[in-house]
Structure 1
Amino acid sequence: MTATAETLQSETKRSWVPLIGLFLAQILMSFNVAALPISIGGMVADFGVPPTTASTTIVVYGLVVAALVMTGAKLGQRVGWVLIFRCVIVVFAGSSLMMILAPSVGWAIAGQCLAGAAAAIIVPSLVALIAENYSGDQQATAIGSLGSARALSGISAFLIGGTLGTLVGWRPVFMIVLALAIAVFLFSFKLRSDKGDAGIRIDLVASALIGLSIMLLTLGFNNLNGWGAFFATPGAPFDVLGISPAPMLIVFGIIFGQAFFAWTRRRMRQDKVPLVDLSVLGSPSERAAVYAMFVVVALEAALNFTVPMYIQIVQGRTPFETSLAMMPFNLTVFITATLVVRFYKRFSPRTIGMAAFVLTTCALVWLSFVVTNNWETLPTILGLIVFGIGQGALVTLMFNVLVTAAPAELAGDVGSIRGSTQNLASAVGTAVVGALLVALLSVGVGRAVAEHPELPDDLVTQVDLDSVNFVSNDRLEEVLSQTDATGAQVEAAVQLNEEQRLRALKLGLLILAGLSAIAILPASRLPRYRPHEIPAPDAASTGS
């Protein structure tokens, strides 16, 4: 960047007040998502429904966001980002009112459908409005704030939501969501944006293809555990020749995804407006940023599933205690996502990306060796902090690479790709690590039982080893009390369970470390430039 350009940039620095509204909008969505798991127990008690029905609120929110986010980006370009942003914030406020006043679980599910539809437009809106309101160093800082907002809302939802849910009830948690929506709406009047282009037509075929693809992929991955990774379990809604529907949904999701890309390329060759302009992924460095973003979000989701699962299910802790155990990690992500922009002037995205993946890899390897049945040990906390540094840096960096490389008018397309990537990666990371850990545990238990003569075959036949899962020692003792096991055999089985749970966890962390190490390869294809050397977007899209 020339001295003249730097001078011009310094002269056009804008107030941070508009960013407060965008920051709160990210917190609004993330707080709502984090509040849903906390509220399931309260909804079960209030509505008299099973937990699986109450958890549908989480499923429908994620599915609607994932299916509509690309269509939402195009709506924003057509209507105008500020106008549609205000409208969907009102819709989000309405969804929180439905949650607060819901007379039945059906109203709660409908409320989260509305929230998901609103979030599908808010996600690309945030990127587009940052691009239209900030540039240069301010833009990089603003992008970093979105990553830190996700971590901050996760902490606050568990602490505030957990406290309110315990002392008052689950509905007041969504009063906070409503207050956030009102605040975001008021701050939206500080935003500036170009008017929409009424001439933009929404490609309904592409919208249907990508919506179906992401919904099928999300449903397939989310149900790998419940329905079976290959062969159908008793919990599967149906099967085809004994095969689980989960992998079939994943296959069909991939097919629809490929059809979407083929259709979009065809429209671009015909000079028609596509649902998403694939030129934002035109260079190897931009595609590498998407691959790397997918991996780091999947790793974050895997760790966010593994640690709470182990603390709550295995150790029997409360959600509040779980949030305290995860606080070092979440705080580290929050701080790193905010401060990493300070390194952009000294190091290239390639250097920062590769170094961050080295940190996440080392952290996961370290955790696999030091983790015990107590997550509050100093070595374990240090491992989570190091992983949080790498993860916080990566999410902000990859997002910044994509926004920087694209023209401002395509910022909404970048936002939709970010939203789709993060939603899908989160589902894949959670589901795959869950299936992996259960598989490792099942193999370990089966082998250990064969090696322990004090656990005879007649006792083993009374326990279904085909449905091995992570359970607490108390739950295992309860199950064994219904068998012919002696006191010594129960003690041996509990010890075996402890050993194999920990072994499965350690192996799972090592496998995640291997995935993190592989991700260094796409990170090595990130741009070499530093922010003050950034070429114009049209030039940046032709190479790295």
Structure 2
Amino acid sequence: MLTQIQASFAVNALTVSMAGITTDLDTPATSVGTAITAGTFAMAAFILLGAKVGSRFGTRGVFQIAVAIHGLAMLGVALSVSPAMLFIAQASSGAVIALIAPALTVFIATNYHGAQQARAIGFLAAAIPAAGVLALILAGWFATTIGWRWSFVLMVALAGVNLVLSFLVKKVPAQPGLSIDWTGAIIAAVAVILLSFGFSGLATWGIWLATPQAPFDVLGISPAPLLVILGLVVGQVFFSWLRRRGREGKPRIFDLRVLATGSERAVTACMATMLFVGTAANFLIPLYIQVVQGRSSIETSFSIIPYTLSIFLASTFVAYLYGRFTPRLLATTGFIVVAAALTLLAFTVRGEWSQGFVVAGLILLGLGQGSIVALVFNTLLSAAPKQLAGDVGAWRGLVHNLSGSVGIAVASAFAVGMLSSMLLAGAQEHPEISDELIAQVNFNEANFLTNEQLAAVLESRASGPELDAAIAVNAEARLRALQISLLGLGAISLLAIVPATRMPGRREGDLPEKLEPDDDDVIDPVDEKETVA
């Protein structure tokens, strides 16, 4: 749990410390964003390989080396004197997290059993929001007092603690005879990188037509959708490669037995949907606080602490419900709670954050989100053979990163698209706004602006009643766009009930030693032989 906090705290601390970093390194905020993206992409691209490296050379030994390297990377961030040094350090930290994340799942599988195992998975899931809260408090405090660099010095110290504690964990035997499927690893990395860059670029490069910010275009088409399509094609090649290797009885970079049954694929669909909705909500809620309410970054950070704490509590205590209710019922109920929370937020968000219904909606959203994330991880892990714990951990990390990238990209593109449409419609309905002003504004490049920012943009174009009307239209349009976006996320949560009803009707105890086929199995004879072996 402390290691998960170490990994997650670092990313959150970069975001909270952005103002200090940009000043110290004399670099724009986009450079910090690039460093964060580099770490995330590196982790997602190599996490499947990381699971196999751990199995090949011994999970505990590889984990200890990775924790030490991550500590050194955090020291590199703390001592950064240039954007390039920051980029290299953060990219290195992301790459070694690809070794750490699968190892944490293996440790749970080998050190805990029964109800204790389920609670351990809940604590591991809860460590991510816990790291977010700590980063908001500690990194925010350091950034305004002793300096942003001390947040990462703290992570160096935590890496030392985790390295010492790791010797208390059971040693997982290495598999020296395991061959690593390097071709599969490369194909997977290429697919993940293409998808990540494609989805991340939708908002800035253009959903279809290329914007001026796009690095290149193809006949005027944005590179973002082209990268997404290419990533999907390469992803299909990756799964075809895995099936071929399975038929030939050769080692695979990812064992498809993790997704062997319909219920396991339904669990993955629920995981991806909840992470998509959760990440999108994490983007829209701060946008609402900062733009609609005009609050500062630090005020925004503290405003969402109740939401983050509710995720932590739900992830921690949902394990106590496993003995009474089935995963199918818990997941279905969780998605209904999430949809209700998002609907409540959509109809109650206004200009005042202290409104009781808004806070209640956020807490309700966090409880549903935390419960589902811990539940699906536990269900997937308990259904897979024990020797595939590393693959389950890698798959969870991969789905987490890709779903997060898609969630932010789609939420941003959808919200901005709604804003553009409503700004144009609102401007045409107000007689105070002249046709000349409407013609001068490019509504296709609209963005969320505060009243002060809009007044500065229109300073030389409008004044008096016309400027007042434009500000009123903007205020109404941005609030409606956020409300509709939240309702859209609520609708997606309700649609997730379909795969939730395909989740298991019972929960396994410990991880099974071998895969138990059921009516949904699609295992070929080669897979069965591998399982017995």
**TM-score where L is the length of structure 1:** 0.94
Does the Cα contact within 8 Å between 2:188 and 2:235 map onto a contact in 1?
A: yes
- The offset of 1:448, in angstroms, is 1.0
Q: What SS does the aligned partner of 2:516 have?
A: helix
- CA offsets, 1:293-329, max 9 Å, x none? 0000111100111111222244332222112211111
Query: 2:72 & 2:455 partners in 1: Cα distance?
Result: 47
> 2:130 and 2:509 mapped to 1: Cα distance?
30
Q: Distance in 2 between matches of 1:248 and 1:375?
A: 40
Q: Share of identical aligned residues, percent? A: 40
2:497 to 520, 525, 538: 520
Amino acid in the other structure paired with 2:83: V
| Residue from 198, 206, 209 that aligns with 2:176 | 198
Residue 463, structure 1, aligned to residue 461, structure 2: no
Paired position in structure 2 for 1:16: none
Tell me whether 1:324 sits opposite 2:302 in the alignment.
yes
Residue 238 and residue 530 in structure 1: after superposition, are their counterparts in 2 closer, same or farther (change >3 A)? closer
1:30 paired to 2:13: no
Partner Cα distance (1:239, 1:535) in 2: 50
Do the aligned partners of residues 435 and 345 (structure 1) sit closer, same or farther apart at CA in structure 2, a change above 3 Å counting?
Answer: same
1:486 aligns with 2:486: no
Partner of residue 539, structure 1: 516
Q: Which deviations, in whole Å up to 9, do the C-alpha atoms of 1:481-521 show, x marking residues without a partner?
A: 121x2211111111111111111111111111110000000
**1:172 aligned to 125, 150, 153, which one?**
150
Can you give the 5+ residue segments of structure 1 that lack an aligned partner in the other structure? 1-22
Mapping for residues 14-413 of structure 1, pairs under 5 Å: 23-413=1-391
Matched, 1:495 2:462: no
Instruction: Output the amino acid matched with 2:515.
Output: D
In structure 2, do the counterparts of structure 1 residues 32 and 356 end up closer, same or farther at CA, with 3 Å as the change threshold?
same
Residues 110 and 535 of structure 1, relative CA distance in 2, 3 Å threshold = closer
Task: Please say if 1:506 is aligned against 2:506.
Answer: no
Secondary structure of the equivalent of 1:55? helix
Q: 1:535 to 1:49 in 2, by over 3 A?
A: closer
Contact 1:364 1:383 in 2 (8 A): yes
Q: Is the 8 A contact 1:28 1:180 kept in 2?
A: yes
Tell me if the contact between 1:163 and 1:320 (Cα under 8 Å) persists in the aligned partners. no
- Cα pair 2:270 2:376 within 8 Å, conserved: yes
- Letter in structure 1 aligned against 2:179: R
Structure 1 counterpart of 2:531 = none
Aligned equivalents of 2:249, 2:365: Cα separation in 1:
44
**1:340 CA drift (Å):** 0.4
Q: Do 2:292 and 2:475's aligned partners in 1 also have CA atoms closer than 8 Å?
A: no
Deviates more, 1:446-455 or 1:427-436: 446-455
Q: Distance in 2 between matches of 1:153 and 1:101?
A: 22
Shift of 1:531: 4.5
| Partners of 2:382 and 2:510 within 8 A in 1 | no
Please give the alpha-carbon distance, in whole angstroms, between the structure 1 residues aligned to 2:518 and 2:381: 11
Cα distance, 1:104–1:542 mapped onto 2, change above 3 Å: farther
Distance 1:331 1:53 in 2: 30
Is 1:477 the counterpart of 2:460 in the alignment? no
1:58 deviates by: 0.5
CA displacement 1:316-348 (0-9 Å, x = unmatched) = 322221122111111111001000000000001
Deviation track 1:449-506 (CA, whole Å, cap 9, x = no partner) reads 11111101112233332211100000011111121x2211111111111111111111
Q: Unaligned stretches of 5+ in structure 2? A: 522-533
CA distance in 1 between partners of 2:519 and 2:36 (Å) = 40
Q: Is the 8 A contact 1:405 1:540 kept in 2?
A: no
Q: Contact 1:406–1:541 (CA<8 Å) still a contact in 2? A: no
CA shift in 2, pair 1:341/1:537, >3 Å: farther
In structure 2, distance between residues paired with 1:162 and 1:311: 17
User: 1-side partners of 2:329 and 2:350: how far apart?
Assistant: 33
How many residues get paired?
521
1:537 is displaced (CA, Å) by: 4.7
Per-residue deviation, residues 256-292 of structure 1 (Å, max 9, x unmatched): 1000000001001101110010011001111001110
| Alignment check: 8 A CA contact 2:40 2:401 kept | yes
Q: 2-side partners of 1:277 and 1:370: how far apart? A: 46
Note if contact 2:181-2:252 (Cα within 8 Å) is conserved in structure 1: yes
Classify 1:535/1:351 alpha carbon distance in 2 versus 1 (closer, same or farther; 3 Å).
farther
- For 2:206 and 2:367, the matched residues in 1 are separated by 34
Contact 1:405 1:541 (C-alpha < 8 Å) held by counterparts: no
Per mean C-alpha deviation after superposition, the further-off stretch among 160-169 and 472-481 is 160-169
Which of 447, 451, 457 is the matching residue for 2:429? 451
Deviation of residue 536 (structure 1)? 6.3
Aligned-pair CA distance for 1:90:
0.5
* CA positional deviation for 1:209: 0.8
TM-score (norm 2): 0.95
Whether contact under 8 Å (1:44, 1:50) holds in the other structure is yes
Conserved in 2, the CA contact under 8 Å of 1:33 and 1:58?
Answer: yes
Q: CA deviation at 1:357?
A: 0.6
Stretch of structure 1 that moved more, 531-540 or 414-423: 531-540
Change (3 A) 1:537 1:392: farther
After superposition, give the CA deviation of every residue in 1:374-396 in whole Å (9 maximum; x if it has no partner). Answer: 23311011111111111111000
User: Displacement of 1:539 after TM fit?
Assistant: 1.1
Q: Quick check: 2:383–2:508 contact (8 Å CA) kept in 1? A: no
State the partner residue of 1:8. Answer: none
> Per-residue deviation at 1:541?
6.4
| Secondary structure of residue in 1 paired with 2:17 | helix
CA distance in structure 1 between the partners assigned to 2:78 and 2:518 by the alignment: 47
Cα pair 2:14 2:32 within 8 Å, conserved: no
